[in-house]
Structure 1
Amino acid sequence: MAIKFSPVDTKERTKVFFESGDSIRVWSKILEKGKTRLQAFEGLVLSRKHGQEAGATFTVRRVASGVGVERIFPLYSPNIDKIELVKKSKTRKSKLYYVREKAAKEIRRKMKQTRVVVNKDGVSVVKESVPEPEVAG
């Protein structure tokens, strides 16, 4: 489910398929010692700003070694090689800034998990599952 982007083709980038609440993997080009390599940054999309404009950005957050790390990516950056959708979630808010203060267990409880299943015929079916509320015992 990855769309390969080229720095010139901006029409492909207008067909962005992720929203806030989704888990994505962003492959960005890094220049090290004269060589270009790809580096993946996987995390939760907190927000998307400015729609399809030239200055459109999206914020991705992940927790690495117990420390929250956020990166803001320009949508039309030539340094982005591709974006992969890891997991789709349905949220009620478009900006998930409250996630910064919450624990991971509380966040998972709030989002509806959706799973894309591909049948033998090649037809994709979207299944939604709402996590059951936890009961304090």
Structure 2
Amino acid sequence: MEPLIKYVQDKYIAKKEFPKFGSGDTLTVYYEIKEGNKTRTQHFKGVVIQVKGTGATKTFTIRKMSGDVGVERVFPINMPALQNIEVNRRGKVRRARIYYFRDLRGKKARIKDARVK
């Protein structure tokens, strides 16, 4: 069954090219919002907590702090409203899913920068 699903995804789903990123990276995601008959672009800047799935079903979760409240948002990589992804910083973390990041506050919530090769 899997080869059939992969064939359909490759053939019929339009792919967008985005930069490679992983957990701990700081991203700015630009996506389109429709309000009535108007559309506008909104951005969401935060740290990637997890990247899940492969191919067309890939999703990533971004967390940002809005005042004292943590806000998380899950973006599917093939979402039609997704316009652009910018990698602002590369972070060095030792885990693929950094759920522990939710409990950290202040200086503890800093992620070290990864070396640029």
TM-score class, shorter-chain normalisation, is 0.7 to 0.9
Q: Which has the higher contact order (CA 8 A, sep 6+)?
A: 2
Count how many residue pairs are aligned between Structure 1 and Structure 2.
105
Out of 48, 57, 60, the position equivalent to 1:58 is 60
- The alignment's TM-score, normalised by the length of structure 2, stands at 0.81
What is the Cα-based RMSD across aligned positions, in Å?
1.8
Task: Percent identity, please.
Answer: 41
Alpha-carbon distance in structure 2 between the residues aligned to 1:22 and 1:98: 15
Q: What corresponds to 1:69 in structure 2?
A: 71
Instruction: Please state whether the residue corresponding to 1:48 is helix, strand or coil.
Output: strand
- Residue 104 of structure 1 deviates from its aligned partner by 3.4
Q: What corresponds to 1:118 in structure 2?
A: none
Instruction: Please state whether the residue corresponding to 1:99 is helix, strand or coil.
Output: helix
Moved runs in structure 1, 4+ residues, more than 6 A? none
Q: Which structure features the higher share of strand residues?
A: 1
Out of 97, 100, 103, the position equivalent to 1:101 is 103
- The alignment's TM-score, normalised by the length of structure 1, stands at 0.70
Q: Which runs of 5+ in 1 are unaligned?
A: 1-7, 116-125, 128-137
- Residue 11 of structure 1 deviates from its aligned partner by 5.8
